[in-house]
Chain A
Amino acid sequence: MNALWLAALGLVLVVLPFVLSSYHVFQLTQVVVYAIVLLGLNILTGYNGQVSLGHGAFFAIGAYTTAILLDKTGIPYWATVPVGGAICLVAGFLFGLPALRLEGLYLALATFALAVATPQILKYRHIEQWTGGVQGITFAKPDPPPHIPLDSDQWLYFFCLVIAVPVYVVGWNLLRARTGRALVAIRDHPLAASAMGIDTAFYKSATFGISAMFTGIAGSLGAIVTQFVAPDSFPIFLSLSFLVGIAVGGIASIPGAVFGAVFIEFVPNVADAISDAAPWAIYGLVLIVFMYVMPEGLAGLLRTLTRRFDARGERGLAGAASGRKREPRTSDARSP
């Protein structure tokens, strides 16, 4: 990504909370949170080719970790974030191990099951004393540290931003380095990849773990920002929204994760403004139109446009990652 764009973006991100209302700052903070989720999901789906319909579960785990720790212990809110991340890293890796055996659709079902199970389990009577049951858990809004001239909403925004930056840097490095090439190899040609000595099993599980970790971190942040968790805050639709986010933003794209986050935070609001009778119908329509116009997401569209101007073209990871359906083969197996 161009250094100039990055600098401009950085400037905008720093200035915005001072010119927007509290509610808008809150929304912006949500965008940052979702951007972390989508980065994690992108790593998994876009670069590693594993579809997950269940990342809402890891988001919930991160959120509930924070909520329970804040409710039951004296741990400061910022310390709960790494805990949420660590738990999800382990959970994701453990989930990924058996999930390896399942491909495509079957993996999708397993993750879907995870997402559907989550609200049910959270409501389960026997663990109510920790999870707060159907009502969930609420806690106090964190104050900015003394001597810092920000209000709570602005502080929380910067708090999330400051965590998002290293997460993005890690994600970026992960994908650019040898690991990244290995991941793409596994996605595009698993057989060849393992023949070349890439330990497919390990990479797949590890990728799932890392993806879950990012989502868990985001979940923790999300809980801190809203100061409330409840089982019904994490319905299957949340997982579907995440998927929509990376489709709209552009899979296998780091800027795409940011675009997608903006989309899933703001478009439902816009749809609501257009029609309060059936806002989701408008949302659905927008989704469909979006996919007709730019099936590779916003990032894909930008890529095509910049390729027209840039002689070198942007090949490599981005080019290989469009995930286009392959042409049907004319032949059945050629028998000797």
Chain B
Amino acid sequence: MMAAILETHDLDASYGPTRVLTKLALAVEERGITALLGANGAGKTTTLRALCNMMVRLSGEVRFAGERIEGKATEDIVRLGIAHVPDGRGTFTGLTVEENLRLGAYVRRDKRGVAQDFARVFGYFPRLAERRRQQAGTLSGGEQQMLAIARALMLRPRLLLLDEPSFGLAPILVGEIFAILGTINREEGVSMLLVEQNAKVALDLASHAYLLETGRIVMQGPADAIGRDESVRRAYLGY
């Protein structure tokens, strides 16, 4: 594996007195796509929250580009170049598509760069361009997911965290979105940590994968190897 843009050591995370993650050690390949798989309740969302220091109490180490970031405020972590697309999309439903995207670039100072990025994300997601002035809450599920990803891209992030982007979407749409994610990764070198319940699409896209069960990593390795593993196939791929 290439250099890691993000790594964790001995990461524990709890909600109040309830421990959810135990001694997590994972690494996200720089310029690559890493998948974090697991069933409902395994702790996948918690992992992403812990990385952003949101809503959980954590101990252990999180390093981004070599620097320790655990304990930093979420707003500061964002400024380092980590964009998080949360579960449920997290779109500002009361605001327009354009306002959502503008907020994605909130911390940036380079106006020209932001204008360029508007063009870029509209290029990836032409449907959003059509609905530019529409209120985000009126978009369909798939469009909202696109908007959520597009908003994250407006940060010009080095690392993109995605929480179950396939959730609730029709397979065709999932294919479309994941293809775009692949393109973004290849053309712009944005590293990605992809949390998914849908193991198949995740393993098709990612190069490296981790399997999470009740808060612990139980398996890791190249995505295709994981995909061929007998137990994984039976438990998560259905064959």
Contact = CB atoms under 8 A, between A and B. Distances in A.
Chain B contact patch, size range: 10 to 19
Contacts of B86: 330-331
A149 interface: no
A332 B144 CA distance: 10
A336 B168 contact: yes
A120 B217 CA distance: 69
A330 B141 contact: no
A73 interface: no
Nearest to A336: B168
Contacts of B87: 330-331
Interface in A286-336: 327, 329-332, 334-336
A332 B141 contact: no
Interface string B65-109: 000000000000000000000111111010000000000000000
A1 to B, nearest CB: 29
A332 B91 contact: yes
Nearest to B139: A335
B168 A334 contact: yes
B237 interface: no
A335 B90 contact: no
A332 B55 contact: no
A330 B55 CA distance: 10
A334 B142 CA distance: 11
Contacts of A335: 140-141, 144, 168
Nearest to B86: A330
B178 interface: no
A334 B167 contact: yes
Contacts of A332: 88-91, 93, 137, 144
A329 B45 CA distance: 13
Nearest to B144: A335
Contact of B88 (A327, A334, A336): A334
Interface residues of A, number: 8
Interface in B132-152: 137, 140-141, 144
- Where chain B touches its partner, the secondary structure class is loop
Contact of A336 (B89, B93, B141): B141
Contacts of A327: 55
Chain A CB within 10 Å, residue with most, of B55, B86, B89: B89
Contacts of B88: 329-332, 334
Contacts of B91: 332
Contacts of B55: 327, 330
A334 B91 CA distance: 11
A249 to B, nearest CB: 27
B90 A330 contact: yes
Contacts of A336: 141, 168
A336 B141 CA distance: 7
Contacts of B90: 330-332
Contacts of A329: 88
A334 to B, nearest CB: 5
A98 B130 CA distance: 46
Contacts of A331: 86-90
A329 B54 CA distance: 12
A329 B89 CA distance: 12
Contacts of B140: 335
Contacts of B144: 332, 335
A71 B228 CA distance: 93
A331 B163 CA distance: 11
Nearest to B140: A335
A332 B145 CA distance: 12
Contacts of B168: 334-336
A150 B141 CA distance: 76
Nearest to B49: A330
Interface-centre pick from B88, B90, B137, B168 (highest chain A CB count, 10 A): B88
A334 B137 CA distance: 11
Nearest to B167: A334
A330 B86 CA distance: 7
Nearest to B93: A332
**Residue of A327, A329, A330, A334 with highest tally of chain B CB at under 10 A:** A330
Contacts of A334: 88, 141, 167-168
A325 B94 CA distance: 23
B210 to A, nearest CB: 22
B123 to A, nearest CB: 25
Contacts of B137: 332
A335 B137 CA distance: 11
Nearest to A331: B88
Nearest to A329: B88
A331 B141 CA distance: 12
13 contacts: A330-B55, A330-B87, A330-B90, A331-B86, A331-B87, A331-B88, A332-B88, A332-B90, A332-B91, A332-B144, A334-B167, A335-B141, A335-B144
Given A331-B86, A331-B88, 18 more contacts: A327-B55, A329-B88, A330-B55, A330-B86, A330-B88, A330-B90, A331-B87, A331-B89, A332-B90, A332-B137, A334-B141, A334-B167, A335-B140, A335-B141, A335-B144, A335-B168, A336-B141, A336-B168
Please provide the 10 A-B residue pairs with the shortest distance between their CB atoms, ordered closest to farther: A331-B88, A335-B141, A330-B86, A332-B93, A334-B168, A330-B88, A332-B88, A331-B87, A336-B168, A334-B88
